[in-house]
Amino acid sequence: MVVLVTGANGQLGQSIQFIANKYPNIQFVYTDFQEMDITNLESCQTVFSKYKPQFCINTAAYTAVDKAESESEKAHLINAVGAENLAKVCKEFDTILLHISTDFIFDGTSTSLSLTTGYKETDIPNPQSIYGQTKLDGELAIQKSWEKHFIVRTSWVYSQFANNFMKTMLRLASERDSLSVVNDQIGTPTNAVDLAEVLLTIIQSPITHHPSFFGIYNFSNEGVCSWYDFAKEIFHQKGISIDLQPIPTSAYPTLAKRPTFSVLDKSKIKTTFPIAIADWKTSLKKCLELL
Ligand SMILES: NC(=O)c1ccc[n+]([C@@H]2O[C@H](COP(=O)([O-])OP(=O)(O)OC[C@H]3O[C@@H](n4cnc5c(N)ncnc54)[C@H](OP(=O)(O)O)[C@@H]3O)[C@@H](O)[C@H]2O)c1
């Protein structure tokens, strides 16, 4: 089975490579921006005609949330047009597309009952940022273009690879004695390696080819926390002593507006596929041990 991975140098792309040897029946083809620019349909067609993949995992994305506010065209090109190109080329080659989306498609202000457990796949998106809007546009373009897709929405991704919140906290702790982190944005961290495992579990599942299982799924680690709680746990687990202060979002203004609550309900993915989801603190420990 051939699985083509886009954005192979990003943190999810590298996380897939990290666990790939556990899947000897899969022939992985890793592509980065140079080999396959997802904004260029011809570039995608050339690579697909060479490898004829049964599955494509699209980890490629424009992920600079604040920068997207001033680079909306670029963000749209990669996150929406790029996703649409992949859906089109997957249709041409009858390839199942696994695409990653985000909790930032929600506004985080809803008072709906589902928020007691988190956003469900059926809740109405209302992005508050350019990044969130372009990711939603990507989802919609895929849904319109190619039915054989799994869109996996995730949140607060970190890993031992590339840049992320966990690594930023560790770097700042090595440079400063005190740190302030927002305490009123609530969500769930996701270890990218756990996400990679889930994507490969979906691919290996016997039900994956059945049309009734295509669609949107939520995945993050288990549990709920604020960015402040996340930082506190990172320092606790690493035995780092630092003066860490909780602050409101209003004290840390950013260009892009972020949802105040973006916990994802994972009932659907847990009842559809054979996965056990680790608590975010357990998964963080696993990641920190690898650093
Ligand atoms: N990070 C998070 O907290 C988070 C949260 C929720 C959802 N997600 C979603 O999870 C997915 C994976 O995120 P990640 O954290 O692994 O992102 P990442 O580390 O930023 O990796 C994205 C990769 O895509 C590549 N890329 C950009 N434009 C491309 C193009 N036109 N063609 C091919 N590759 C291109 C980037 O290459 P360059 O570096 O060379 O530009 C980078 O290697 C994304 O869909 C993201 O939206 C992430």
**Residue pLDDT, tens place only, 204-247:** 999 999 999 999 999 999 999 999 999 999 999 999 999 999 99
Three-state SS annotation for 186-230:
EECCEEHHHHHHHHHHHHHCHHHHCHHHCEEEECCCECCEEHHHH
193 CB under 6 A from ligand 1? no
Mean pLDDT of 150-163: 97
Residue 131 lies in a domain: yes
Question: Cα–Cα distance between 163 and 169 in angstroms, integer?
Answer: 11
Pocket test for ligand 1, best of 31, 37, 46, 59 (most atoms within 8 A of CB): 59
Residue 44 tokens, joined: 């995608």
> Which range (6-15, 24-33, 73-82, 107-116) has the least confidence?
107-116
CA distances from 148 to 50, 93, 143 (A): 21, 11, 9
In-domain check, residue 250: no
Q: Across the chain, what does the average pLDDT equal? A: 96
Count of beta carbons in the 10 Å neighbourhood of residue 25? 6
pLDDT at 114 over 90: no
Residue 111 has pLDDT above 90, yes or no: no
Using the mean position of ligand 1's atoms as its centre, give its distance from the Cα of residue 188 in Å: 19
What is the pLDDT confidence band of residue 117, given thresholds at 50, 70 and 90?
A: confident
**Ligand 1 contacts CB of residue 188 (under 6 A):** no
User: Is residue 257 in a domain?
Assistant: no
What was the pLDDT predicted at 68? 98
In a domain, 176, yes or no: no
141 lines ligand 1 (CB under 6 A): no
- The percent of residues in the chain predicted with pLDDT above 70, rounded, is 98
Res 251 pLDDT > 70? yes
CB of 259 within 6 A of ligand 1: the answer is no
User: In Å, how far are 182, 203, 215, 263, 264 from 121, measured between CA atoms?
Assistant: 27, 20, 9, 12, 8
Flag whether 226 is in a domain: no
Cα(22) to centroid(ligand 1), Å: 23
Q: How many of the other CB atoms lie within 10 Å of CB of 23?
A: 17
Ligand 1, atom 24, residue with closest C-alpha: 60
**pLDDT for residue 82 is more than 90:** yes
The catalytic site residues sit at 131
Q: How many domains does the chain have?
A: 1
Give the pLDDT score at 217. Answer: 98
CB of 39 shorter than 6 A to ligand 1: yes
Give the H or E element holding residue 9.
Answer: none
What is the three-class DSSP state of 143?
A: helix
Residue 78 structural domain: 2-160+190-221+262-277
Which of 36, 63, 103, 139 to mutate to test ligand 1, by most ligand atoms within 8 A of the CB atom? Answer: 63
User: What is the per-residue DSSP string for 44-108?
Assistant: HHHHHHHH--SEEEE------TTGGGT-HHHHHIIIIIHHHHHHHHHHHHTPEEEEEEEGGGS-S
Whole-number pLDDT of residue 7:
97
The answer, yes or no, to whether any atom of ligand 1 lies below 6 A from the CB of 165, is no
Mean pLDDT, rounded, for 61-80:
98
CA–CA dist 88, 56 (Å, integer): 12
Pairing label, strands 243-247, 178-182: parallel
Q: How far apart are CA 277 and CA 274, in angstroms?
A: 10
Bridge-based pairing state of the strands 55-58 and 2-6: parallel
Query: How many Å lie between the centroid of ligand 1 and the Cα of residue 9?
Result: 8
User: What pLDDT is recorded for position 115?
Assistant: 56
Q: Which structure tokens are listed for 207?
A: 């039900």
Rounded Cα distance, 206 and 223, in Å: 29
Q: Which residues pair with 99 in a beta bridge?
A: 58, 151
- Report which residue type is found at 73: E
The percentage of residues in the chain with a pLDDT greater than 90, rounded to a whole number, is 96
Give the pLDDT score at 113.
Answer: 47
**Assigned domain for 233 exists:** no
pLDDT of residue 274: 87
Could you tell me which of 124, 216, 108, 201 has the C-alpha nearest to residue 156? 108
- Which residue puts its alpha carbon closest to atom 19 of ligand 1? 10
Q: What is the CATH number of the domain that holds 12?
A: 3.40.50.720
Q: Is residue 89 part of a domain?
A: yes
At residue 116 the predicted structure's pLDDT band, cuts being 50, 70 and 90, is low
